[in-house]
Amino acid sequence: MIAVAYLAIFTFFGDALASRWFSFVSLPHRLATGFLVGLLTGTWISYLTALLAVNAADPMAIGALASSAVMLVSAIWLRRHPTALGLEGLLRLRSVRWEWILVLLVTIVAGAMMIWTYHYADGSLWIAGDLWSDFGPTSAISQSFALGHNFPTEYPHYAGEPIRYHFLYYFQTGNLTYLGLDPATANNVLSIASLVSMLVIVAALGERLFGSRSVGWLAGGLFFFHGALSFIPYLGTFPSLGAALASLPSLDHFLSSGFPYRGEEWGIWTQDVYLNQRHLPSAIGILLVVVLFLLDRLPRPHLGPPQPGLDGVRRRLATSARGLSQGASATFVHPIAVFRSTLRDPWLPGYLLCGLLAGLLPLYNGAIFIASAVVLGVMLVAFPNRAQMIGLALVAAIVAVPQLMFLRPGTMAGEQAYPAFHWGYVVDDPTPLRVATYLGFIFGPKLLLAGISLAAGTWRQARVFLAFVALVALAFLVQFSVEALANHKFIHTWLIVANVFVAFGLVRLWESRPSAWVPTRLIAIGLAGVIVAGGLIDLVPIKNERMYQTGLDGDPLYEWVRTTSKPQDVFLSDFYVVHGILLAGRKVYLGWPYYSWSAGYAVEQRQQWYRDVFALRSARELVSRLQAAKIAYVAFDDGLRDRGFAPRLNEELYRDHFDVAFSDPDNHYGHLTIYRVPTDRDAAAALPEAPAADMYIGGRGADLGLFMDPGGIAVESSGAVLVADRGNNRVQRFSSDGNYLSSIGGQDAGPGQLIEPTGVAVGPDGIVYLAAGDRLLAFGPMGNFVRALSVPGLAAPRWVDIAIDRDGAIFALDAADGLVARFAVDGAITTFGNPGSGDGQLHMASGLAVRDGTLAIADPGNGRITVFHGADGTFVRALPVSEWQGADALPADVAVGDDGTIWASSPATNAILVYRPDGTLAGSLAPGGADALDGPTGLALGSGGRLFVTNAAGSRVTLLTSLQP
């Protein structure tokens, strides 16, 4: 009830403010205007009062209470002190029953779409798949206010810096959640009311422009039918119309035109945009409120009776031009006189109010603020009352400029500075014809109807259309951020107003001269049918959205975060999108990077910090860095462990020195463990420094963690890494974060002892197999000797590498005899290959890898990778490796991915070569900095797309996580 009372108060305040200066065509128009004005201004008042209470324990409570009092008192005062403009006559509003029925119908349709795609049930949030990514940042922002203490405001996916994203709408949804609504209901109440209010304003604009309430409401209805022609090629893919229609109820994806245009498959020209970007309708509605006020202030044209057709438009253009030129030459009005006259204009405060509304938009919706500046700029040029419009612009600038300076990032994402000239929007190789084709395919029937409307309309109406057409030009000429597709907001804003002209075009066709009724009405029905058909098909994927569930009330993680951690706490974690930590109102140090990147944060710098912190070996330095970043908790889960972005994951350090704050024994959250960062700086100073044995640091020597000519490498199912330390006659085992664990072997010829091991592999049962000179040895997981393997008939093999397929088959490479021995699970032993340079022959082979029967062998002596069918030894193909030519003294290795991609080490060039599944060379990997390769030899793929590399010259191991060039 508190949330409902708050909604009523800001609507009451908005109506008191709006009805003082704005006129209305109906009671729904007045209510819609009051709601939108109250939403924008009330949100600002609530946020600023809460911000002033930043040092209080609960700023949201103070903000809600103080802002409600301010709005209520202000509204009462405004009611008791009416203006002297005689608005009473304008406020005799006409409302008819069918109009209220239409409002109810629009509310039902909008509500069904909003609630279906985002709702709360049984203690969980249910989010549609196409909304999941967009609701990552927005739901986190809302909850950071509802359950957190986000003052001064930070981006929940990028804690520690001021927010650089327009957030005020989501502050308001968080405010309503704080006042008692669940997160989905809070969002849906505002979203539904905003969309319905915007459409009511559209209906009022139609009535004001064309003098027809029918035109207005038809324009509002056309909002639900975008008119894209993408359904035509889709239907054409079926053998019959019946088959096509039968497929439509199960359609679960948005249709694309077939042209190479980005965004169509995301539903960018469907209602999905308004379901994703819930703050868009209210911002567009505010712009239309301002436009309606300006239209009401214009003098009525005196150009005689309407003159239909293009000739009439040309005559009116000529008449207007003559009037302007004659006035300019005959009369000079001194600027001071204009200024004094403007100050005496009783409507001037209304202009200034419009400037305030436009100026409040940057932190509410930055794109619509830009759209407002463009539309109002064109209206300043195209219409009279320019002095008042300048006053409007000055107020808007004074209010907006500080917001724009606040929002502008210190380091823009990427090297390009924005805004920047960018011709063509998302059209590849844009030409005027290609752009026209794009627009025609996306809005085809509507463009025709808008053209009919312009031909039959007045110059006054055409100027309004021109002001909004400027937004289309803006979208195709200027890029405002790293994501050019984001300009769709300008085109959507144009389309909403274009629907008014489309509606008038339909009415004009329908009400043509009686002699032309049959053809014009058939044309109207045909064009309307195409628009409606495409729109209905666009709505089907929304109905068939896949829903994702995330727990709230009663969910152990959510409840723990909400009740145990502090509202200001920051978590270091995996790159979360929607997660219990964020929904509980807390911030993460780095969430899904796209959000921060697209907002202009210096994401690359923070990503490097992220990698460095997860690679630290010193508990003391780790705590120091976490405390400096004000991180309270560190969360490890399978996503973080397997993703590989932080390659040297140091979870063992947390296990040894940090307290576990939350654990996930039942694996509800991907084996999540949350560690509490120590807050006592003296205790942190007593923690140990980095251990000496670290495979990523390595070094040449015989001590533990050091290497002498390291070669083969393998990864156990636990994540531990085995490195064949040839020069030290041992195999060392390390944790995935680099810490030394144990060793196998020692220099001797006896059982369990090793001489120059070069290859290592791990079987499905955990048995470790080693290739060491003339012996193949097997060891248990604890390092105990198990058995030796041999091939009858081989007198003096030189086993250089060993690999194991998923089915347990063992493959050993004998460089001396140029062959491969296969040890089947049933004990059968087969061999294939022989020395030479022909197909299937090997020369100075040094490494092999197998994956699902595909056996790849590094054959540097022949300068190639030779590929066999592992099951029967059949030769498949050879991949030339120019980097191995003349480098046969340098051992090389290969790795095979699940999809058939092959990686090959190139010691001579300090790179890893990447071959596509079809055998073509994709490029090479040659990282710089601390990850630079130094004589790379052995390769081993780990989980999560990680590649471990031994560096023979550098005596260390490198971990690569970006495996495509």
* Average pLDDT, integer, range 422-448: 90
pLDDT band at 336 (very low <50, low <70, confident <90, very high): confident
Q: Is the pLDDT of residue 323 over 70?
A: no
Name the residue type at position 459.
Answer: W
pLDDT band at 507 (very low <50, low <70, confident <90, very high): very high
Question: What is the per-residue pLDDT for 650?
Answer: 85
Q: How far apart are CA 772 and CA 752, in angstroms?
A: 11
Percent of the chain with pLDDT over 70: 91
Question: What is the per-residue pLDDT for 598?
Answer: 82
Q: How far apart are CA 704 and CA 695, in angstroms?
A: 9
The predicted-structure confidence for 831-866, as pLDDT tens digits, reads as follows 999 999 999 999 999 999 999 999 999 999 999 999
Cβ neighbors of 245 (< 8 A, separation 6 or more) are none
Burial 769-799 (b: 16+ CB within 10 A, else e): bbbbbbbbbbbeeeeeeeeebebeebeebeb
Look up residue 912 and give its two tokens.
């890893």
What are the φ/ψ torsions at residue 354 (nearest 5 degrees)?
-60, -40
CA 220, 221, 224, 227 torsion-angle sign: negative
The predicted-structure confidence for 514-535, as pLDDT tens digits, reads as follows 777 788 899 999 999 999 998 8
Q: With 0-12 CB in 10 A as exposed, 13-18 as middle and 19+ as buried, what is 576?
A: buried
| CA distances for 104 relative to 26, 188, 220, 272, 420, angstroms | 15, 16, 13, 21, 43
pLDDT band at 320 (very low <50, low <70, confident <90, very high): very low
* Average pLDDT, integer, range 729-741: 89
Q: How far apart are CA 461 and CA 451, in angstroms?
A: 12
Name the residue type at position 906.
Answer: S
Across 31-35, 511-515, 594-598, least confident range? 511-515
Q: Is the pLDDT of residue 579 over 60?
A: yes
Question: What is the per-residue pLDDT for 338?
Answer: 60
Look up residue 437 and give its two tokens.
């084709």
The predicted-structure confidence for 81-110, as pLDDT tens digits, reads as follows 877 665 544 445 666 788 899 999 999 999
The predicted-structure confidence for 135-179, as pLDDT tens digits, reads as follows 999 999 999 999 999 999 999 999 999 998 999 999 999 999 999
Q: Is the pLDDT of residue 567 over 80?
A: yes
* Average pLDDT, integer, range 878-906: 87
Q: Is the pLDDT of residue 299 over 90?
A: no
The predicted-structure confidence for 686-698, as pLDDT tens digits, reads as follows 787 766 688 998 9
Look up residue 947 and give its two tokens.
């590649």
Look up residue 324 and give its two tokens.
């302007």
Q: How far apart are CA 325 and CA 302, in angstroms?
A: 17
Question: Could you tell me how far CA 682 lies from the centroid of its own chain?
Answer: 41
Q: Provide the 8-state DSSP code for 412.
A: -
SS3 content of the chain, % helix, strand, coil (to 5): 45, 20, 35
Q: Is the peptide bond before 751 cis (omega within 30 degrees of 0)?
A: no
Nearest to 625, CA basis, from 687, 616, 581? 616
Nearest to 441, CA basis, from 534, 555, 340? 534
Question: What is the per-residue pLDDT for 322?
Answer: 41
Q: Is the pLDDT of residue 442 over 90?
A: no
User: For helices 366-382 and 348-359, what crossing angle results, to 10°?
Assistant: 150
* Average pLDDT, integer, range 439-459: 91
Q: How far apart are CA 11 and CA 21, in angstroms?
A: 16
Nearest to 486, CA basis, from 419, 537, 533, 534? 419
Q: Is the pLDDT of residue 766 over 90?
A: yes
The mean pLDDT of the chain is 89
Question: What is the per-residue pLDDT for 394?
Answer: 96
Question: What is the per-residue pLDDT for 426?
Answer: 87
